[in-house]
């Protein structure tokens, strides 16, 4: 039973992250920086929302939770377990790219490990979407590298977005109360281990791009999301997202 | 200006009034070649704008690969593609009439049959 | 998706300017009559180049601006299926714009010049996108009926004479099949839904009917469509023929859902096989074309904002040593 609770918690936070980030990224659809990049970013938004759908489907089919449309569109803010990074408003493209870079490298490492999880449906999903995630990290890395080496302004914008996003990115790895169970059950080696791998990976890439990795030992991670304490931005996001579906709770769309 | 699109209401449209028309605002034009199935030829599928080859490939993946199966993708700078002018195409006019390159003009069966018949008779 | 490229024959810019040798013109015409396609490096009459540029450019602009009314509901689509389909659909519109700007570029006008002309209001796009998507019902109507109208137009144009435009349209028409299906799926879900959903849909049909009738341009009797453009296979069907084809295909699909069409005079004449209808308000059509529609100002303001807001991205990667090359498309 403990195992089930642990897996559910993991699935919910991953699904909520993916839904909210996909939603945020779709805010650029049709108004992105170049036509080609608009298309690429929209695809990744769809991928993320698709990942959320598949994770909610596992919750529905294996743990008796409601169906994905209810989990995605009819839960209250207090039931969401996403991290604060994905909730932040879409201000400018530098921030969106950096958020995508920081989040997707963590996501990539997480799914890589989950390919070997002892919970088969999650391992299957991790294998199925590994190609999509490979594209997400490649896309992020190419853009960060190019803009870091573009001109002074673009370099400064990317650097300041990294500085701004980093405490929130650390919130991705907010430990859960089930860390030990997940390890014992050979599902996931835990948020701390993931964070260590992630820091190594992105530090190398950030420095290779000629940017500076913030000293994370002195940063205060923005925690709380995994315990359903959210930024002021999540509630309005959910209100907007559910505006149509709330018109009639019993209608089918 | 109040928009019906909440996304638009979150941005400062007035800033757009500073947008400048500029004609030197271009990156590089690339051509995209796509392979649908292993073992088949790469086909030219279109063009795109990118800042370098690496970005061109990343962007080509979605603009030219999102709606069909893909087993390979190439990009090349448009400026590196060379082709013939319309007036030069007449070089090909007599190609279809060069029958010595066609398999069908080599007819040996009649001769072999005649040869066999001759030998039979002998 | 896209709207009709409205070429005003009375606009002095559309008059042929230069005498071209009869021999060249005849050879060009013979090629087209033969069913051959014209490629970018081929000789072509100035007027052909100019009209095609304007037509493909307007088509590209329509795709790009068309992303905005539908984008209005991207963050509010009511479930996973609709949310992903709507993002994918709007993404395709941007993808179509990309293909079409490439095709137009082969005729000599750069993408930057086209995007600039669009944002300063110098270039046209389909009038239909100057109307707002007020409710989720509008998304169903746009997805099914506006796209349906666009497909009628695009399938016809894909038989045209210019190679790069035909190639782009071939891919676009293939992708529109998904647009139409998801639009119909959305429309049917509302039509068979609760009374409120049906009402929302009916209201949207009522709002969009006149813009849809405007979509194919003024009636043939008003618009002296150029014989020349027809002979060159730049324009392939008259406005009334396209409108008629649209009504043939889509009126039954609206009526079978028990929805009504806000024109008491709409009926098919069984003898002429042509649809008869109340004359839509053509003054409004021309007013909106001139910039005075409900959303013209917003649409252009958004395009200017996109340019200004993302300029730093473009600037960061500009390299002065680059020479402009025209895409092959």
pLDDT score of C317: 97
ipTM: 0.97
- The chain-wide mean pLDDT, for chain C, equals 93
- Residue C136 placed within a domain: yes
pLDDT in tens, B21-72: 888 889 999 999 999 999 999 999 999 999 999 999 999 999 999 999 999 9
Rounded CA separation C154/B1 (Å): 34
pLDDT score of C223: 67
Q: Enter the tokens of residue C167.
A: 């190639």
Rounded CA separation A23/A7 (Å): 24
Taking the Cβ of residue C42 and every Cβ of chain B, the question of whether any pair is shorter than 8 Å is answered with yes
Q: Are A118 and A187 in contact (CB under 8 A)?
A: yes
CB atoms within 10 A of CB A70: 14
**A31 contacts: CB under 8 Å, gap ≥ 6:** A38, B7, C67, C71, C302, C305, C306
Chain B residue whose CA is closest to C314: B25
Query: In which residue are the tokens 């003009």 written?
Result: B105
Q: Between the CA atoms of B39, B41, B45 and B47, what dihedral angle is there, to the nearest 10 degrees?
A: 110
**A95 contacts: CB under 8 Å, gap ≥ 6:** A88, A161, A164, A165
Q: Are A40 and A47 in contact (CB under 8 A)?
A: no
pLDDT score of C74: 98
Q: Who among B7, B48, B51 is closest to A146 (CB)?
A: B51
Rounded CA separation A230/A241 (Å): 16
Rounded CA separation C16/C232 (Å): 14
Rounded CA separation C326/C301 (Å): 28
Q: Enter the tokens of residue C324.
A: 């402009």
Rounded CA separation C80/A54 (Å): 10
pLDDT score of B87: 86
Flag whether pLDDT at C15 surpasses 80: no
Instruction: Kindly determine whether residue A142 and residue B54, on different chains, have CB atoms separated by under 8 Å.
Output: yes
pLDDT score of C8: 57
Chain A residue whose CA is closest to C319: A150
> Residues 10..39 of C with a Cβ closer than 8 Å to B: which?
39
Chain A residue whose CA is closest to C306: A31
Instruction: Kindly determine whether residue C328 and residue B44, on different chains, have CB atoms separated by under 8 Å.
Output: yes
Cα separation values, A154 from A24, B86, C31, C310, Å:
22, 44, 51, 11
- Residue C25 placed within a domain: no
Interface residues of chain C, partner chain A, Cβ below 8 Å: 64, 67-68, 70-71, 73-80, 82-84, 87-88, 90-91, 93-95, 97-98, 101, 136, 189-190, 193-194, 196-197, 302, 305-306, 309-310, 312-317
Grade residue B121 by pLDDT with cuts at 50, 70 and 90.
confident
Chains contacting C with at least 3 CB pairs below 8 Å?
Answer: A, B
Taking the Cβ of residue B99 and every Cβ of chain A, the question of whether any pair is shorter than 8 Å is answered with no
pLDDT score of A194: 98
pLDDT in tens, C58-98: 999 999 999 999 999 999 999 999 999 999 999 999 999 99
Q: Region C253-265: what's the mean pLDDT?
A: 97
Rounded CA separation C290/C302 (Å): 18
Number of domains, chain C? 1
Query: At how many degrees (to 10) do helices A130-148 and A191-208 cross?
Result: 40
Chain C residue whose CA is closest to A24: C75
pLDDT score of B8: 96
Side-chain-facing half-sphere of A35: CA atoms under 13 Å = 28
Residues paired with residue C38 on neighbouring β-strands, in sequence order: C162
Domains of chain A in start order, with CATH, are 2-247 (1.20.1260.10)
Taking the Cβ of residue A142 and every Cβ of chain B, the question of whether any pair is shorter than 8 Å is answered with yes
Q: Who among B23, B78, B79 is closest to C112 (CB)?
A: B23
Q: Who among C94, C196, C309 is closest to A38 (CB)?
A: C94
Q: Which of C24, C40, C41 to mutate to test the interface with B (most CBs of B within 10 A)?
A: C41
pLDDT in tens, A140-175: 999 999 999 999 999 999 999 999 999 999 999 999
Flag whether pLDDT at C11 surpasses 80: no
pLDDT score of C221: 83
CB atoms within 10 A of CB C47: 20
Chain B residue whose CA is closest to A241: B6
pLDDT score of C236: 93
Flag whether pLDDT at C7 surpasses 60: no
- State the alpha helices, DSSP H only, in C106-238: 111-119, 136-141, 147-157, 163-191, 195-214, 227-231
**C183 contacts: CB under 8 Å, gap ≥ 6:** C140, C142, C143, C144, C145, C147, C148
- Residue C98 placed within a domain: yes
Q: What percent of chain C has pLDDT over 70?
A: 93
- Residue C1 placed within a domain: no
Q: Which of B2, B33, B47 to mutate to test the interface with C (most CBs of C within 10 A)?
A: B47
Q: Which of C96, C131, C322 to mutate to test the interface with B (most CBs of B within 10 A)?
A: C322
pLDDT score of A218: 96
For residue B76, the surrounding DSSP H or E stretch is strand B72-77
> Residues 165..224 of A with a Cβ closer than 8 Å to C: which?
none
Could you tell me how many helices (H) and strands (E) chain C has, helices first?
Answer: 12, 2
Flag whether pLDDT at A249 surpasses 90: no
Q: What percent of chain C has pLDDT over 90?
A: 90
Q: Enter the tokens of residue B53.
A: 């080859």
Taking the Cβ of residue B48 and every Cβ of chain A, the question of whether any pair is shorter than 8 Å is answered with yes
Instruction: Kindly determine whether residue B52 and residue A146, on different chains, have CB atoms separated by under 8 Å.
Output: yes
Flag whether pLDDT at C226 surpasses 80: no
Rounded CA separation C54/C114 (Å): 10
Grade residue C225 by pLDDT with cuts at 50, 70 and 90.
low
Flag whether pLDDT at C6 surpasses 90: no
- Domain CATH number, residue C308: 1.20.1260.10
Chain A residue whose CA is closest to C63: A30
Flag whether pLDDT at C18 surpasses 80: no
Residues paired with residue B75 on neighbouring β-strands, in sequence order: B32
Task: Give the range among B3-12, B20-29, C128-137, C160-169 with minimum mean pLDDT.
Answer: B20-29
**A68 contacts: CB under 8 Å, gap ≥ 6:** A52, A53, A56, A57, A60, C80
Rounded CA separation C235/C229 (Å): 5
pLDDT in tens, A59-107: 999 999 999 999 999 999 999 999 999 999 998 999 999 999 999 999 9
Q: Which of A29, A91, A145, A211 to mutate to test the interface with C (most CBs of C within 10 A)?
A: A29
Rounded CA separation A170/A194 (Å): 11
Chains contacting B with at least 3 CB pairs below 8 Å?
Answer: A, C
Rounded CA separation A106/A195 (Å): 8
Cα separation values, C15 from B16, C47, C51, C155, Å:
35, 8, 10, 27
Chain B residue whose CA is closest to C72: B5
Query: Judging by DSSP bridges, how do beta strands B28-35 and B43-50 pair with one another?
Result: antiparallel
Rounded CA separation A146/A93 (Å): 14
- The chain-wide mean pLDDT, for chain A, equals 97
Give how far A112 is from chain B: nearest CA, Å: 21
Which residues on chain C are in Cβ contact (under 8 Å) with A244?
Answer: 73, 76-78, 136
CB atoms within 10 A of CB B3: 18
Instruction: Kindly determine whether residue A26 and residue C312, on different chains, have CB atoms separated by under 8 Å.
Output: no
Chain C residue whose CA is closest to A150: C316
- Residue C329 placed within a domain: no
Rounded CA separation C80/C78 (Å): 7
Rounded CA separation C261/C255 (Å): 8
Q: Who among C95, C189, C302 is closest to A253 (CB)?
A: C189
Q: Are B23 and C110 in contact (CB under 8 A)?
A: yes
Taking the Cβ of residue A31 and every Cβ of chain B, the question of whether any pair is shorter than 8 Å is answered with yes
Which residues on chain A are in Cβ contact (under 8 Å) with B6?
Answer: 240
pLDDT score of B24: 85
- Residue C27 placed within a domain: no
- Residue C5 placed within a domain: no
Domain range for C182 is 32-316
Give how far A44 is from chain B: nearest CA, Å: 9
**C90 contacts: CB under 8 Å, gap ≥ 6:** A29, A30, A42, C67, C70, C71, C74
Q: Are C298 and C129 in contact (CB under 8 A)?
A: no
A173 SS3 class: helix
Which residues on chain C are in Cβ contact (under 8 Å) with B81?
Answer: 328
Residues B97, B100, B103, B106, CA torsion sign: positive
Flag whether pLDDT at A1 surpasses 80: no
Rounded CA separation A126/A116 (Å): 9
How far does chain C reach from its first CA to its final CA, in angstroms?
19
Grade residue C254 by pLDDT with cuts at 50, 70 and 90.
very high
Grade residue B86 by pLDDT with cuts at 50, 70 and 90.
confident
Q: Enter the tokens of residue C16.
A: 């042929």
Instruction: Kindly determine whether residue B62 and residue A240, on different chains, have CB atoms separated by under 8 Å.
Output: no
Picking from A91, A128, A111, A120, the residue whose alpha carbon sits closest to that of residue A194 is: A111
Rounded CA separation A14/A57 (Å): 13
Distance of CA C309 to the CA centre of its chain: 26
- Residue C83 placed within a domain: yes
What's the full length of chain A, in residues? 253
């Amino acid at each position: 039973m403990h195992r089930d609770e642990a897996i559910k918690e993991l699935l919910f936070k991953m699904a909520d992250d993916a839904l909210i980030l996909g939603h945020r990224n779709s805010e650029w659809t049709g108004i992105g920086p170049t036509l080609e990049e608009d298309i690429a970013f929209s695809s990744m938004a769809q991928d993320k929302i698709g990942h959320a759908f598949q994770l909610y489907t596992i919750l529905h089919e294996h743990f008796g939770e409601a169906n994905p449309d209810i989990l995605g569109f009819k839960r209250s803010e207090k039931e969401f377990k996403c991290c604060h990074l994905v909730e932040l408003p879409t201000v400018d493209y530098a921030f969106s790219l950096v958020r995508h870079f920081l989040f997707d490298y963590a996501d990539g490492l997480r799914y890589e490990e989950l390919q070997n999880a002892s919970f088969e449906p999650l391992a299957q999903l991790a294998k199925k979407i590994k190609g999509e995630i490979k594209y997400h990290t490649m896309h992020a890395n190419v853009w960060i590298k190019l803009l870091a080496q573009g001109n002074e302004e673009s370099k400064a914008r990317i650097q300041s977005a990294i500085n701004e996003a980093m405490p929130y990115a650390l919130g991705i790895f907010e430990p859960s109360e089930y860390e030990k169970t997940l390890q014992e059950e050979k599902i996931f080696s835990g948020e701390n281990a993931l964070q260590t791998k992630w820091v190594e990976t992105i530090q190398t890439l950030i420095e290779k791009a000629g940017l500076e990795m913030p000293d994370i030992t002195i940063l205060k991670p923005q925690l709380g999301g995994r315990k359903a304490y959210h930024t002021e931005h999540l509630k309005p996001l959910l209100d907007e997202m559910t505006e149509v579906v709330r018109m009639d709770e019993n209608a089918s769309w | 200006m109040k928009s019906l699109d909440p996304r638009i209401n979150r941005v400062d449209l007035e800033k757009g009034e500073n947008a400048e028309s500029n004609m030197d605002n271009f990156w590089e034009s690339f051509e995209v070649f796509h392979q649908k199935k292993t073992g088949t030829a790469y086909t030219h599928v279109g063009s795109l704008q990118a800042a370098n080859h690496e970005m061109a490939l990343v962007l080509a993946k979605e603009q030219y690969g999102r709606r069909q199966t893909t087993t390979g993708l190439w990009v090349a700078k448009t400026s590196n593609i060379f082709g013939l002018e319309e007036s030069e195409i007449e070089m090909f006019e007599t190609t279809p009439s060069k029958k010595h390159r066609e398999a069908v003009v080599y007819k040996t069966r009649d001769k072999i049959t005649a040869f066999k018949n001759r030998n039979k008779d002998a | 998706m896209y709207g009709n490229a409205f070429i005003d024959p009375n606009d002095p810019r559309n008059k042929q300017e230069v005498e071209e040798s009869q021999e060249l013109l005849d050879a060009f015409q013979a090629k087209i009559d033969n069913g051959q396609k014209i490629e970018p490096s081929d000789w072509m009459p100035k007027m052909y180049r100019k009209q095609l540029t304007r037509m493909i450019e307007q088509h590209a602009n329509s795709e790009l601006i068309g992303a905005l009314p539908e984008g209005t509901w991207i963050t509010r689509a009511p479930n996973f299926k609709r949310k992903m389909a709507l993002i994918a659909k709007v993404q395709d519109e941007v993808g179509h714009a990309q293909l079409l700007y490439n095709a137009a570029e082969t005729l000599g006008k750069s993408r930057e010049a086209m995007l600039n002309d669009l944002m300063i209001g110098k270039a046209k796009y389909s009038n239909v996108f100057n109307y707002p998507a007020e409710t989720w019902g509008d998304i169903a109507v746009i997805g099914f009926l506006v796209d349906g109208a666009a497909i009628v137009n695009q399938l016809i144009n894909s038989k045209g004479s210019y190679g790069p435009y035909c190639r782009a349209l071939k891919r676009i028409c293939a992708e529109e099949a998904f647009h139409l299906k998801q639009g119909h799926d959305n429309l049917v879900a509302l039509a068979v839904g609760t009374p409120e959903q049906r009402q929302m849909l009916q209201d949207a049909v009522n709002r969009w009917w006149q813009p849809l009738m405007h979509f194919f341009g003024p009636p043939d009797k008003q618009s002296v469509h150029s014989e020349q453009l027809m002979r060159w296979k730049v324009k392939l069907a008259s406005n009334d023929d396209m409108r008629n084809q649209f009504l043939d295909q889509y009126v039954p699909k609206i009526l079978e859902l028990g929805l009504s069409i806000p024109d008491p005079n709409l009926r098919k004449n069984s003898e002429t096989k042509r649809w008869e209808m109340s004359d839509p308000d053509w003054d409004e059509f021309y007013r909106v074309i001139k910039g005075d529609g409900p959303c013209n100002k917003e649409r252009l303001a958004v395009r200017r904002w996109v340019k200004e807001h993302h300029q730093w991205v473009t600037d960061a990667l500009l390299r002065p040593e680059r020479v402009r090359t025209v895409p092959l498309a």
